[in-house]
Chains A and B, each alone.
Chain A
Amino acid sequence: MPEPSELYALGNASIVAPAGHGKTETIVKVAALGNRTLILTHTHAGVHAIRARLKRLGVPHARVAVDTIAGWSMRYAHAFPGVAQPPAGVPQGAQWDQLYSGATLALGVDAVKQVVAASYDRILIDEYQDCNYLQHDLAIGLSAIVPTLIFGDPMQGIFEFSGATLSWDDEIHPTFPFSGTLNTPHRWNAKNPELGHWIAETREKLIQGRPIDLSDSRITYRQSNNAFDMATLFDGIDGKEGNFAAIHCRKGICYQLARASGGGYQAIEEIAAGRLHQFAQAWDGANDVSSRHRAITTLMQDCFNERQAQAADPEDPEDTEVTATLRGLLPALVTGNGAEAAAQILALSRKRPRWRLFRSELWRDAERAIAELAANRAENMAAATDSVRQRTSASGRKLPKRTVSTPLLLKGLEFDHVIIPDATHFANEQSAQAKLFYVAISRATQSLTISSSQRIISFPIPNS
């Protein structure tokens, strides 16, 4: 494992960092060696993770600037709008391309180069496998001004579908020569070194497209034809400490798993928060009791699983009371902006005995947005949801004890126990099948449970 000081001295270079090999720690330690280092990453979650590590290692705040590539580009493109021509406001769709190319153009101006050179003595870019071509151009521009060290893992490049298809050998290494691989499996060393070995071996097999035998004492294999086999999700969890993640590539299936688990596993929301915005749109477009009621009930159906009442069940007096109160609140949905009543409805819904919440993040965000509206801090529900999501992305989210989600959303996180329902489904993905599988298994630190209809699975050789 190269020392931080050796990495610091490299100049323009690339480092391969397999999952769980102390990449964040290494980045932070290298960064701390400079007078002022810029660390760029892709997501706000990544920014939070790095900032938290900087704080833990006691690196003075002024020494390291951390930003997303998008955030940094916004800053520079808007500071030099004449050359960069940034899109107005938050970029949408193809406007992101315009933003990145604009920031790259700004770096061509002498005076801007001087600003960059005066601002940083090293630039470190994290998760380079997630860069698209325009972000790569920007990185090349930066590396011409300040020595730039990039960190990434070809095997975690699961954004191929959205254009992150740079070839390491042909496109990345000419600017950032390969200079080493992090080789200490920190994630498993203390907790389960054997599991670490299995993941490392599997990584090699995946790279070469070789078959993988799931029957191995270092992991738990369950023969099962069905992703919705609840035993896979729940068997043995009582004896285990820590947090859990069930990982499936399809988000629709994740929601269904969460529903089927009766909220035992919680589904989490994407950054774009499409369902929340859909609710806001429905609410803002509704003017009468019934359409507002509909906006709430459809959201409710997506967040709660209702256990069917059995014929034999006696009447539950509590349920009757809650239902009556809810009904009584409906006319108030058109009193004022209606948010007051909506807030009470959402709060009461949590108390219905046969209803189990399985998208609690979405429900909580809706509650917060409604509270914003009730307090007149937002003009309408759309503005309220924007500000709620902005706050979440700025402060980082807290994950539930048991989560079910996709590799895309869980990438970069780690969990004590990982469950993969129906491993064969990875082969059905359009692209990056092996990489998705590697990202999924490498989230686990203590135990890994994989269910599959076949004991031996294999995926096409991944792009590198």
Chain B
Amino acid sequence: MQIRHFLVRNFRGIASLECRPDHSFCCLIGPGDSGKSTILDAVEAVLSSRWFSFAEPDFFGCNTGNAISIEVTIGELSRALKSDERLGLYIRGWTPEGKLHDEPEDGDEPVLTVRLSVDATMEPVWELVCDRVEDTRTLSNRDRALFGLVRLAGEDARHLAWGQGSVLSRLSGDTDEAAARLAEAYHAARASAKLDEIETLADAAELAEGFAKGLGAYVEGVYMPGLELGRSGLSSGSIALHDSGVPLRLAGLGTRRLATLAIQKSGIAEGAIILIDEIEHGLEPHRIMGVIARLKAQQTQALLEHKPLGQVLMTTHSDIALAEAGGDCLRVVQTKRPSRQTVFLRPSAPDPIRALMRFNPRALFARRILVTEGYTEIGMLLGIREYMPARHENKPIEQLGVAIADGNGSQACEMALGLAGLGYLTAIFRDSDTTLTAENQAALLAAGIKTFEYGSGLNTEQAIFSAAPHDLVQEILSYTRAERGDDSVDMSLANKIPDLPLGVIKTHFAGWQLITSLTDTQLRHALAEEFHRKKWFKDQRLGRGLAPLVWKLASLNSSCPLAQTLASVEAWLYA
């Protein structure tokens, strides 16, 4: 099963949302409070077989006058759903172009539309939407179970035991024998239960172990059924999975979650819809990558075998998870304020976003992104941002949801456009040695992307050297010598300025003017050219090291283009 189309009205923080996930693996990101979890809640409410009780806070703005409506159109339908004894006669058609026909036409994919509505009576009603049928078909919890929904939320130990309706009990077939043995066990000692001798339970435990290992859960020994006495007395729910005698319930959070997910998923024969809240919860980076790679590989495998892929909808705040999921899977959730219209955006041109996800995925968790064109500039800005909080009530830009992103050189412009398309407030910081094409300028303007440049064709080196006082130039020279080596720097400069002897170059910059025939401006220009040519600052770390000096320059000479540009950048970052 896969969600083709999704419509939400008046549910919690979402006034309205319409989206098409359009991928079997969707990684939902977005700034906090943008509605990611609400989207998963809505999908669960409409498709899960569980009963949901609704209360006032579930209505948008706590206003029960506006009924909640969650409508989801599902494709990749299982055989059971398509059967005419179930819902087959209510199918609708989804065209290859992503349009909905109430009655399927030739070439359409069969889909079903399910609607959950709740009005002021708080009584939820699940029904199929099918305009050509007069009587509405309401959906029972058994009907809804056919949609194969799995939600991995926080803690759910239910699935690690053989309770009624649990996946483990389904894997076992029947548990009558277990029940009989439990009655005996009640009289005997806990150890004498010998549940591991019951073949069906042991088999299910073995299966569960395989599934759990598949997703990267750590298994200490072997999974076995074991007895756990709870408050409810002795029932099949008292049989729980044990790993080498220790209840799995007590394993680490990550392992527990992975085992739960694996076991739940295995209970659904055809293409489950899997909802995962914060996949990174409780997992080390390599296990985050492992579980995502595994889930994606399972879909690839299903595709090869012409089996249903199902769909994964996961939220994350982990740049590792995001990077592993990849650009195609990225879906950005943004809720506009105050209208609370929620949108679900996908990269229109994934290439530049892929570059961002490779080098700097965490920027995507911000609300406002400054895309920076080169290594020098990104390093410099990252360094300079450390000086800014002092002037803004000690707030770092990150606290305001602002990120500085590496534009991957010439891709900066496309990247900024892509990010603006995903709903981020975006700006570009670049030096002016190459001019933007008219086409790009127009596109940036149209997308409302601000461009920060020094102007007058200045590159960063020129902007620095043209405005720095003598002492500061000397400090920059010293910093460069320390990083690049005295000889290398001095020899290059001596070559660049032929009438300046090496001995003079080793002395303070203030004295150079007396020896060379170049004017002060020409001398500074020559320095900038050589620094640029040798790429001494073209390195994020060196750029960052340069930041204190640039900051000093900006405060000493606040009218120079560099200072002006940095001031407007600062104003945008803190807007």
Contacts and interface: CB of A to CB of B under 8 A. Distances in A.
Given A79-B133, A81-B132, A82-B132, A118 B83 contact: yes
Given A79-B89, A81-B103, A110-B104, A119 B110 contact: no
Contact of A65 (B85, B106, B108, B132): B85
A118 B108 contact: no
B103 A83 contact: yes
B158 interface: no
Interface in A66-82: 75-76, 79-82
A109 interface: yes
Given A114-B110, A119-B82, A76 B104 contact: no
Nearest to A72: B84
A109 B106 contact: yes
Interface string A72-111: 0001100111110000000000000000000000001111
B105 interface: yes
Nearest to B81: A118
A118 B79 CA distance: 5
Given A36-B83, A82-B132, A111-B93, A118 B105 contact: no
A62 B133 CA distance: 24
B107 A110 contact: yes
B542 to A, nearest CB: 62
Contacts of A79: 84, 89-90, 132-133
Contacts of B85: 36, 62, 65, 119
B91 interface: yes
A83 B107 CA distance: 14
Interface string B76-96: 010111111100111101000
Contact of B89 (A36, A114, A115): A115
A108 B110 contact: no
Interface string A210-231: 0000000000000000000000
Nearest to B107: A110
Contacts of A65: 85
A119 B132 CA distance: 21
A65 to B, nearest CB: 7
B89 A75 contact: yes
Looking at chain A's contact residues, the main secondary structure is helix
Interface string A53-72: 00000000010010000000
Interface residues of B, number: 24
A414 B152 CA distance: 62
A111 B110 CA distance: 5
B143 to A, nearest CB: 15
Nearest to B134: A78
Looking at chain B's contact residues, the main secondary structure is loop
B71 interface: no
Interface string B108-140: 111000000000000000000000110000000
B108 to A, nearest CB: 5
A426 B362 CA distance: 91
A286 interface: no
Contacts of B110: 110-111, 114-115
Contacts of B106: 108-110
A115 B91 contact: yes
A109 B133 contact: no
Contacts of B109: 111
A112 interface: yes
A117 B81 CA distance: 12
Contacts of A80: 89, 103-104, 132
A114 B103 contact: no
Contact of A76 (B80, B83, B89): B89
B108 A111 contact: yes
B88 A115 contact: yes
A303 B267 CA distance: 64
Given A82-B103, A119-B88, A114 B82 contact: yes
B89 A111 contact: no
Given A81-B132, A111-B110, A119 B84 contact: yes
A63 to B, nearest CB: 11
Contacts of A76: 84, 89
Interface of A: 36, 62, 65, 75-76, 79-83, 108-112, 114-119
Given A79-B89, A110-B104, 14 more contacts: A36-B83, A65-B85, A76-B84, A80-B103, A109-B105, A109-B106, A110-B107, A110-B108, A111-B109, A116-B84, A117-B82, A118-B82, A118-B84, A119-B88
27 contacts: A62-B85, A79-B84, A79-B89, A79-B90, A80-B103, A81-B103, A82-B102, A82-B103, A82-B105, A82-B132, A83-B105, A108-B106, A109-B104, A109-B105, A109-B106, A110-B104, A110-B106, A110-B107, A110-B110, A111-B108, A111-B110, A114-B110, A115-B110, A116-B84, A118-B77, A118-B80, A119-B85
